[in-house]
Amino acid sequence: MDYIKILKRAWRMLWAYRALWIFGIILALTTASWESQFMYTFGGNDGANQQDRGTTIQIDPESDIGEQIEKAFEEEFKSGIEDLEKFIDEDLPIFPNGRKIINTLIAVASVIFVLFVAGMISRYVAETALIQMVNENEESGEKPTIKQGFRLGWSRASWRLFLIDLLFFLLVFSVILLLGGIGALVAVPLLAVGRAAQGIFGGVFAAGMIFLMVFFGFVGGAVLSLLKPFFRRVCVLDDMGVIESIRQGYAIVRKNFKETGIMWLIQVGISLVYPILNIPVVLLLSAAGVLLGGLLSLLTGGLSGWFWGGEPSIVWMISVGVVIFILVLAVPLTFLGGLRAVFQSSSWTLTFRELRTLKFLENGELPESESPEEK
């Protein structure tokens, strides 16, 4: 596999196909992709039963897992709302403005929850759109517009990507929780005895379990960062379900471990080098942010004193300066993070297509299509 050719093609596509930038910026905003994503691990499991407050949720393996999870979340949410209303009406201690404080907290929590859900939806729609748009450009030479990209992203595939991530998140979390539980069950009684020998053994055992938890998280993150790009592209481009996407993606990596491993190392290198290359940019933006924020805060204070008289509000001036500084720093970094997200996503999609083409050639078949540059 020609890695340089793939990277060059992804680089040219980055600058020639600017509609991809919008979806890369959405990914940068929703996944903090301008930071290192090497340890990004997210996922879940398709467990048989879940129990909470005496309610049993039955998971039918023959039914659609997405609909079952959605229904379970809806039931749990309604139950939580009922418990909260009971607490406010019956159990809330009486103190001045108690209900107003609770209502304010509920309003703030609701806004945060809505923003979180909107961010999650936007993230998976953008990721699906990027994969589909790059693949469509390679298949036919056409460049789907931003509007068409959102249509491609708003699909069952984006929901399946979320379920894949949920699956592995719960799996990794369960293992770490299990290790932590074992460590606590063994170490705490030994430390509570108060004897030196037992205390030393309990401390060493607890340290060992913490090491195992960190090691598992690191190794699990590394393995998943290699496998997940292929899970995602099998899911989106081959229209596979959650379990089948995982199975097929793993098979691709296992049969092409050398090729996928080298591309993974290249992507890890990009993730490590990118923050270093950003240091001069961050320093320059920080200086510009301090200068511009300071000038605008002084201007704001002067204008407020001129129009309304009296001493300008120091708090208001500082707030304006801080907001300007954050905007000057965050907007360019988010844009650069979006470009990086586009480049890395395109590289993985092109790698997936290349491996699929190699598979056809090994079987004595012709690939369904070639990229526009190869025709």
- Alpha-carbon torsion angle 209, 213, 216, 219, nearest 10: -120
From the list 34, 16, 12, 60, the residue with the least C-alpha distance to 340 is 34
Whether 175 maps to a domain, the answer reads yes
Whether 68 maps to a domain, the answer reads yes
**Of 109-123, 258-272, 293-307, where does mean pLDDT reach its minimum?**
293-307
Which tokens belong to 272? 């490590």
Tell me the average pLDDT across 328-354.
92
Is pLDDT larger for residue 215 or for residue 367? 215
Q: In this structure, are residues 353 and 20 in contact, taking their beta carbons and an 8 Å threshold?
A: no
Instruction: Tell me which long-range contacts 280-286 makes (C-beta under 8 A, separation of at least 24).
Output: 281/332, 281/333, 281/336, 282/329, 282/333, 285/328, 285/329, 285/332, 285/333, 286/325, 286/329
Tell me the average pLDDT across 42-48.
35
Q: Per-residue pLDDT for 57 more than 70?
A: no
Is pLDDT larger for residue 33 or for residue 28? 28
The residue range of the domain holding 81 is 3-362
Whether 140 maps to a domain, the answer reads yes
Whether 368 maps to a domain, the answer reads no
Is pLDDT larger for residue 334 or for residue 57? 334
The mean predicted confidence, pLDDT, of the chain is 78
Q: Per-residue pLDDT for 43 more than 60?
A: no
Instruction: Assign residue 47 a region (left: φ > 0; alpha: ψ between -120 and 50; beta: otherwise).
Output: beta
Q: What is the pLDDT of residue 322?
A: 87
Neighbour tally for 300: CB within 10 Å: 18
Q: What is the pLDDT of residue 206?
A: 79
Tell me the average pLDDT across 29-49.
45
Tell me the average pLDDT across 230-246.
92
What's the structural domain count of the chain? 1
Whether the full predicted model's pTM is greater than 0.85, yes or no, is: no
Is pLDDT larger for residue 107 or for residue 47? 107
From the list 292, 291, 317, 322, the residue with the least C-alpha distance to 305 is 317
Give alpha helix (H) positions in the chain: 3-16, 19-31, 65-86, 98-140, 146-153, 156-193, 196-237, 242-255, 257-308, 314-362
Q: What is the pLDDT of residue 93?
A: 53
Q: In this structure, are residues 340 and 27 in contact, taking their beta carbons and an 8 Å threshold?
A: no
Which tokens belong to 318? 């500082």
Residues present in the chain in total: 375
The secondary structure of residue 35, as a DSSP letter, is S
Q: What is the pLDDT of residue 373?
A: 46
Q: What is the pLDDT of residue 87?
A: 57
Whether 235 maps to a domain, the answer reads yes
Whether 199 maps to a domain, the answer reads yes
Strands 55-58 and 49-52: antiparallel
Instruction: Assign residue 54 a region (left: φ > 0; alpha: ψ between -120 and 50; beta: otherwise).
Output: left
- What are the tens digits of pLDDT across the range 67-123? 555 566 566 666 666 666 665 555 555 455 556 777 788 888 889 999 999 989 999
**Of 65-79, 148-162, 292-306, 317-331, where does mean pLDDT reach its minimum?**
65-79
Whether 193 maps to a domain, the answer reads yes
**Of 151-160, 234-243, 253-262, 354-363, where does mean pLDDT reach its minimum?**
354-363
Q: What is the pLDDT of residue 312?
A: 60
Distance of alpha carbon 132 from alpha carbon 140, whole angstroms: 12
Q: What is the pLDDT of residue 49?
A: 38
Q: What is the pLDDT of residue 359?
A: 63
Q: How confident is the model at residue 305 (pLDDT cuts 50, 70, 90)?
A: low
Q: Per-residue pLDDT for 62 more than 70?
A: no
Whether 340 maps to a domain, the answer reads yes
Q: What is the pLDDT of residue 71?
A: 63
Q: In this structure, are residues 340 and 351 in contact, taking their beta carbons and an 8 Å threshold?
A: no
Q: Per-residue pLDDT for 368 more than 70?
A: no
Q: What is the pLDDT of residue 129?
A: 94
Tell me the average pLDDT across 293-312.
71
